[in-house]
Amino acid sequence: MNMMKKMILGAVVLPLSLASASAFAAGGHHEGGMKGGMKGGEGMHGSKCMMKANKKAFKDLELTDSQEDQFDAMRDARKAEHKAKKGQKRQPTAEMKADHKAMQNLMLSDNFDEQAVRSLAEKMSERQIDRRVEMIKKRHEMMNILTPEQKTEFKANQDKYIADCDK
């Protein structure tokens, strides 16, 4: 394979893989499980076991009534947000499809435009970063409800359950 073909292939594969990662980060799953044929339900964020480990680590904590109320309020707000968006076409999905089409057009063009490919890849990466930051921000808010002792206990529980996943 000559160098130009390798560059074009690399320029196409990178953004497409980032778009795939974005789809998983944005909740790329069907009712009933993760999208794709990965063995054991493993996705971009680790296995189902790892996700269960995090839930178990949290449930093992003894939360105060006040903390429970705060978590319930956060959960209710998130549910209301999702309910309000229900039925609306998700903008990120439309943008990802448009970017994919643009990448296809760049790949099929007569001349390779490296700057256009880089620009599009950076745009796609930026959206993925924005989604990841928003997700971590929400998790950070949840963790800040915990006391320092509970955070330490959560980390120990999490490590214990994650170790069980590796077996």
- Count Cβ atoms below 10 Å from residue 154 Cβ, excluding itself: 17
**Greater confidence, 131 or 34?**
131
Is residue 63 within 8 Å of 71, Cβ to Cβ?
Answer: yes
Name the band, by pLDDT with cuts 50, 70 and 90, for residue 26: low
Name the band, by pLDDT with cuts 50, 70 and 90, for residue 60: confident
What is the C-alpha to C-alpha distance for residues 165 and 56, in angstroms, rounded to an integer? 12
User: What contacts 57, CB < 8 A, 6 or more positions away?
Assistant: 154, 157, 158, 160, 161
**Greater confidence, 35 or 153?**
153
Grouping H, G, I as helix, E, B as strand and the rest as coil, residue 47 is coil
Residue 75 has which token pair?
Answer: 């959960």
Tell me, what amino acid is at 119?
S
Grouping H, G, I as helix, E, B as strand and the rest as coil, residue 29 is strand
Is residue 45's pLDDT more than 50? Answer: no
Query: What is the pLDDT at residue 104?
Result: 92
User: What contacts 116, CB < 8 A, 6 or more positions away?
Assistant: 106
pLDDT tens sequence across 103-139: 899 889 889 889 999 999 998 888 889 889 998 998 8
Question: What b/e sequence results for 18-45 when a residue is b if at least 16 CB atoms lie within 10 Å of its CB, and e otherwise?
Answer: bbebbbbbbebeeeeebeeeeeeeebee
